Amino acid sequence: MFLLFRVTQMEAPLAKRLAGLSVFIFLLSQVSCDRDLHFCGTWRHGHHPLSLNFDISPGCGQIIIAANESSLAVRGQIAAQCRRSSTHQLIRQALDSDGQSRFCLYWEPLQDQLKLQVGMRNFTLCWPSGMPDSCCTYLSYSSNAPEATYGIADGLIENDIVTRKTLTAYAFDGTAVKCATFCSKQSSGGAQVHVTDQASVEALCALSSEVELKDGFRGMNINPPRVKGIAPESTTPTIHLPPALKQAAKNSSKVVYTFFKNNSMFQEGLKEVRVLDDVVEISVDNQVIQNLTEPIRIGFHHDVIPKTHSRTCVSWDTRKDPMRVKWSVEGCKTQQRGEKHTDCLCDHLTYFTVLVQLEPRPVRHLLALTVITSLGCATSFVSGIALIVFLCRRRRAKDPSTPIHLGLAVSLTFLNVLFFFTGVLANAGGQELCVLIGAGLHYALLSAFSWMGIEVFHTFWLVYVVFRPSPKLYVWNLVGFILPAIPVIILARVDDIYGLREVASSEDEDNPFLMCWMKPNPTALLAHHLTNTTMLALLVSAGLVMLLLVYREIRTRDEWQKNRVAFLSIWGLSCLFGTTWGLAFLDFGPFSDFILFLSCILNSFQGFLLMLRFFMLDWMRKHAVRIKESPAKVCHMPTSPSTISQEPLEPLCPRS
């Protein structure tokens, strides 16, 4: 019994060692036998001209990554369809210094995609394609290459170190597996499949199919192909093939199309724009299709893209840039069909997607618009001062409309002077001062909108509520000056709302116009829509309704029959009610530039036009008084309470 106990004690450490070795072998197999391959290392090279050599062919054998003093090579048989062989000279400025450069090789068998990153450069060795029948996967490290001065050091598979030594090569053996196995396992949850970037099933298993162009082909609409176990989303793109494609594809009758989703390779190198999640590839075997007489139509369905962020249909010409993804607008036209749908009309076949501007789109004719706005604000500021002095003198007449006109004049004058100096203050004061100026500009805009709304309400009161006195003056001051400050104070306490804002010009994007306003971030954008856009929509709607009501009330008067009087009445009330600001909602379509300039002119010169209105009314009143005092004529002025703001449109007697 004792001997047996001793033997058991002696065998226990051996059993533990064997168990530990088994666990190590299992973990090693998990590290080196993933479905895809992510291998990184440090290329130790000399200071001579460097080159990249690659030779990839179809099959499932071995892939070798080798390096020496002057070249980095990738060769082997792992692809399903890709066949690429070339030598590429490397630019030393794009590599790391001190005779060594970091590189990574990525292999995704489900898309037959192989890419290499060396230093700051990305190289596409095998373009992504639809899911092949057979995948070369479970690549396992097999070589024991010799050490050398120049070669690959610090080899990593995923994030697991293989060796710190400098080896001349690394080799990986592959195993052929049916690709559909991974998709069905991933969708059913029956196996744990490694996903490099946490992509969905649709991202790994790119849906691909082909269509035959038969004789008498008259065009075709294509929806995503259905694969068992994978349900295409409602946002998957659609394709329309025109009849002209049959004439162009003379040497082949089959068109292959593939739907990619969330492929990170298509986003590489892009900073200020973003590629949609969906990318579509359309091709004809062994033939280049371009300059179609009828365009291919690809419909992209996506999340809401605001109007301030431009979107452009683009394609990747693999003939011009075979080694890296470079999107181009050449040969494609963009049709925006709402905030969630974009159609691309392209005259060639390749990869297609939509680029979305991350920052608000550059403003066309920014310099001209800035000059017009500055001139208009300066003119309106001077006109506003003159109008304030004029209205202060008229307050002695105890006209109930005068304090309301005065409040509008004060708010517009404050808005114009702040907007005129916002560019100067943004360049001189920087971010801290811009927080204060931006909040002040926002308050001035809301205050001006409030007083325009008060003008609309007061006009309605004078026209339809005849026998009741209008609200007290302190009520108007509370609504026009105090109420707009509440949302501004709340937003000012929220961080990152007001500050320095860059407005890029389409003519010179490197020199943006600086101003103090709300920042271009989602929180500030939401605040802008909740305050400015909502208030402007209510103001314009009420102003247009009030113009219609005023027209119905006074159209039967004798003086309204004169065209000049009708024009001056509508023009004057439009300035008073702020309906010209409604042009901001019409900035789209082929007339967007015209609308933009018209809105800029009318709104920046609003203070001047308002002063002109009151001065003309005062002149008409004095002219009517002179005619009334003339002994040769007897004139009658309208004195009913329905007269708008107690200001006559035109004297009822003819001119002398």
Q: Find the length of the chain.
A: 656
**Eight-state DSSP code of residue 55:** E
Q: pLDDT grade, residue 487 (50/70/90)? A: very high
| Range of 24-38, 152-166, 323-337 with top mean pLDDT | 152-166
pLDDT in tens, 90-110: 876 566 667 888 899 998 888
The predicted pLDDT at position 194 comes to 37
Ramachandran category for residue 328: left, alpha or beta (phi over 0 → left; psi -120 to 50 → alpha): beta
Q: pLDDT grade, residue 359 (50/70/90)? A: low
As a whole number, mean pLDDT of residues 75-82 equals 89
Hey, what are 30's tokens? 């998990």
How many CB atoms are located within 10 Å of the residue 342 CB? 24
As a whole number, mean pLDDT of residues 108-135 equals 84
Rounded to two decimals, what is the model's pTM?
0.52
Hey, what are 529's tokens? 């829509």
Helix (H, G, I), strand (E, B) or coil at 106: strand
Amino acid at 317: D
Hey, what are 563's tokens? 């065209």
pLDDT in tens, 545-555: 888 887 777 66
Distance CA 548, CA 570 (A): 10
Distance CA 354, CA 312 (A): 5
Q: pLDDT grade, residue 270 (50/70/90)? A: low
Reply yes or no on whether the pLDDT at 635 is more than 60.
Answer: no
Hey, what are 277's tokens? 């999640």
Q: pLDDT grade, residue 468 (50/70/90)? A: confident
The predicted pLDDT at position 620 comes to 77
| Range of 47-61, 409-423, 449-463 with top mean pLDDT | 409-423
Q: Could you give phi then psi for residue 209, rounded to 5 degrees?
A: -160, 180
Hey, what are 7's tokens? 């033997």
Q: Percent helix, strand and coil across the chain, each rounded to 5?
A: 40, 25, 30
Hey, what are 271's tokens? 């900073």
Q: pLDDT grade, residue 404 (50/70/90)? A: very high
Please say whether the beta carbons of 336 and 342 come within 8 A.
yes
The predicted pLDDT at position 451 comes to 95
**Eight-state DSSP code of residue 479:** I
Reply yes or no on whether the pLDDT at 197 is more than 50.
Answer: no
